[in-house]
Each structure stands twice: as structure tokens, then as C-alpha cells.
Structure 1
Amino acid sequence: MRLVLQQFLSVDGVSQGPGSPDEDTSDGFARGGWFVPHLDEAFERLAATWLGTADAFLFGRRTYENFARDWPEMGDHPNARILNGLPKYVASRSLTTAGWNPTTILSGDVPAQVAELKRQPGRELQIHGSARLGRSLLAAGLIDELRLAIAPVVVGSGRRLFPDGGTAAGLRLLHSETTPRGVAVHVYESTGLPEYGTYGADA
């Protein structure tokens, strides 16, 4: 399976708490819900298309607990059947049980376990949110594709997907589009380490 990282971001790179004010208030974050005003039907159709290519999901603990709380209660929501029914994996050092079936807890050497999952047949193993997990797997060279949905807002504080001091990575743009409410969608393929050059140097 291909490992795909899907993230909602602000223009200043914040990934924390996009969906509601109380989604993730860790470290005193009080600006949650910044992505919601920019949702529209075009983006929801695109997100549903992405979801339809998943054969399994991978989460960090915090995102898993939020999804496990909310999605079983979604009833007839068109995405509920996919999220509730497909295999789920959660990377956690603290969880000992996970009730959102079918779920497998990954602990210990998570990158090695994810590499083994990638060798299994299937289309996509998707990471939704879970920025810290995504960063660690990008550093390990395991992310095949990044789907970044960038809302037209500067949040000003909060955890960022790519903080200072993070691992460098080369990317190749596969697709881009903008929704009517201004979400800029960029789909990238990982290419390993970035290239560097000097402007104006002779070829």
C-alpha cells in the first residue's frame, strides 16, 4: 500500500485543531475551528474521493481518540461506512485497548511496523491529521504522498506540520486546485532529500 498523509493547514502552517474550538486545546491552544469557515461542496467532494481510495487508516493517539468518539455516531454520513468499516491502526505508547473496531495498536518500533503494513497488498494507507506521526514517518522516508489542504487564514499560534528544525524533504507537485471558498489543495509525491543550487550559477 502507498502511505498517504492528508493534512489541513493554515497559511502559516498550523495543523492543530482545524475542526472545532475544542478539538485539540493542548498546550493552551484556543484558536481551533479555523478550517471550518472555508469548507464547501467542492472540497467535500474531493475529500470523499480521497477517502474512497483508502484500504486502511493510520492515526496518532489523539486523532484516533477524536475519530473513535465521533465517527461511530455519524449514522448515515456518506463517509461513516468507510471510516468505521476499514482496518485502523493507531500508534501509541499509552493505549492498551482500542474499541473502534477493527483497530490494531502499534507500539515499539512504529516505523518498522508501518513499513511492514506498506508491504501488504492494497491501495492506500491514509494518515488523517496526526501531524507528529506524519512528521516522524516523513523523516523515516515512508510517506509516499502528501495531500495538503491550505485554508486562507493565518492562525498565528499552534502546532505546525513542519516546525523549525524538522527533517528536510524533497517533493514533486502532482496536482493543485483551489476550491470556491479558497482552500488551496496541493498534492505532492515524496522524492527523498531536497536538491539545492545557487541562483545565477552557470548550468
Structure 2
Amino acid sequence: MSKIVVTEFVSLDGVFEDPHLWHFPFFNDAAGQYKGDELQDTAALLLGRKTYEGFADAWPKMSGDEFSDKFNSMPKHVVSTTLENAEWNNSHIISGDVAAALADLKRQYDQDIYIHGSGDLANSLIQLGMIDEIRLMVHPVVVGKGRRFFSDGTSIDALKLIDVTTFDSGVVLLTLQPSTQDATADTGA
């Protein structure tokens, strides 16, 4: 059974909006290799409508490399009550019982299902306890304004730190697991 994994670029002050404006100076070969490997381990994308529309406008224009070819060909599941047509290759709309649909998707795939962007969707699923893992590539920059990944009102009882990876560019990858258990349980504190 697959996991639902949120993977995001964020600044030190938590901004994830418009990463193309601030993350490229820190995106080196090692980070590119990581993101490429991550994508190869992905069975499908899970997107909110706004992110889907942006991706569907941009990605089909890119092809000819392993990353964009995989991104364009893989299954894409869009959670939306307003989107009527999902015309980007291999796209499917989820508009009914989201929890049941996601449970079915997790059983359907052997590899994980990734959420990129889609802050509203990610925050809603975090609140519902439906996210299995959160991967934040924290960039050494303070953006100062813009939408933060964890929106106001989002609360998580505890996050368990699973792994930390550092890149020479200063980016730190935090791999976290939402948990309802006390975060100090393993330390005896």
C-alpha cells in the first residue's frame, strides 16, 4: 500500500508561494538528483485545482527529458468540486468522498502518491490525519511575504522527525511524520 506524501519547497519563514522567485539559487545538482529520484519513486500526483491548472498549463509544453516526460505521463488526481474537465494527460477528478477515494488510491498503487504545491489540499488532509509523510526542503532565505505552507488554523499534535538531509547549497530536507503520539515518547523525556 502506498503513502500520501507532501513534498514542498519552503523558505526559512515558511513561505511556499512562488518558489520560482526564490529557490533556484539554492537548487544545485544534488537537489536536482534528489527531486528526480523522488519523482521516479512516485506512482501518482495528488493536486488541488489551482495547482493542477497551473501545472496543466505549463508542463505539457515541456518534454524530452526524463523528469518532464514522467511528470506529464504519470496519473494525476485532482481534488476539486469545481473543475469540470481535466484534460492534461492521465488526469482524473476526485469530487465526491475524498477520504474513500484516497483510501482506494493508496490500495491501488505500490509506489507513493505525492502532493506538490496544493497548499489548501495539503493543509486540509493534514487536519484530517490523511497525510503519511511531509518532506520540506527548507531554503536558507527569508522571503518576508507570501503564502506560508502551514496556513493559519492548521495544527498538528506532533511531528516525528524521520530524517534530515543537508545539501551544499544550504537547503535542509526535513522528512516528518504526523503523529498523534507525544513527540517525546521515544526519548524518555
- The verdict on a shared fold, with TM-score over 0.5 as the criterion, is yes
Shift of 1:73: 1.5
Shift of 1:196: 7.4
Pick from 32, 54, 59: which aligns with 1:44?
32
Point out the structure with the larger helix share: 2
How many aligned residue pairs are there? Answer: 186
Shift of 1:82: 1.2
Distance in 1 between residues matched to 2:60 and 2:115, nearest whole Å: 18
Distance in 2 between residues matched to 1:194 and 1:64, nearest whole Å: 35
Shift of 1:69: 1.5
Structure 1 match to 2:80:
92
Shift of 1:193: 5.1
Structure 2 match to 1:103:
91
Q: Is the 8 A contact 1:168 1:194 kept in 2?
A: no
Distance in 2 between residues matched to 1:121 and 1:114, nearest whole Å: 11
Shift of 1:164: 3.3
Q: Is the 8 A contact 2:46 2:114 kept in 1?
A: yes
2:123 paired with 1:122: no
Q: Is the 8 A contact 1:7 1:131 kept in 2?
A: no
Structure 1 stretches lacking a partner, 5+ long: 20-32, 198-202
What TM-score do the two structures reach when normalised by structure 2? 0.90
Distance in 2 between residues matched to 1:69 and 1:10, nearest whole Å: 25
Q: Percent identity?
A: 39
2:53 paired with 1:65: yes
Structure 2 match to 1:13:
14
User: Which deviates more, 35-44 or 156-165?
Assistant: 156-165
What TM-score do the two structures reach when normalised by structure 1? 0.84
Pick from 123, 138, 158: which aligns with 2:146?
158
Q: Deviations over 1:76-126 (max 9, x none)?
A: 122112111111101112210011121111113323322221222321011
Structure 2 stretches lacking a partner, 5+ long: none
Sort the Cα spacing of 1:167 and 1:194 in 2 relative to 1 into closer, same or farther, 3 A.
Answer: farther
Distance in 2 between residues matched to 1:57 and 1:194, nearest whole Å: 31
Sort the Cα spacing of 1:111 and 1:169 in 2 relative to 1 into closer, same or farther, 3 A.
Answer: farther
Structure 2 match to 1:23:
none
Distance in 1 between residues matched to 2:38 and 2:157, nearest whole Å: 23
Q: Deviations over 1:31-90 (max 9, x none)?
A: xx1112211111000011111111111011111112112221112122112111111101
Shift of 1:194: 4.7
Counterpart secondary structure, 2:47: strand
Q: Give the AA of the match of 1:146.
A: I
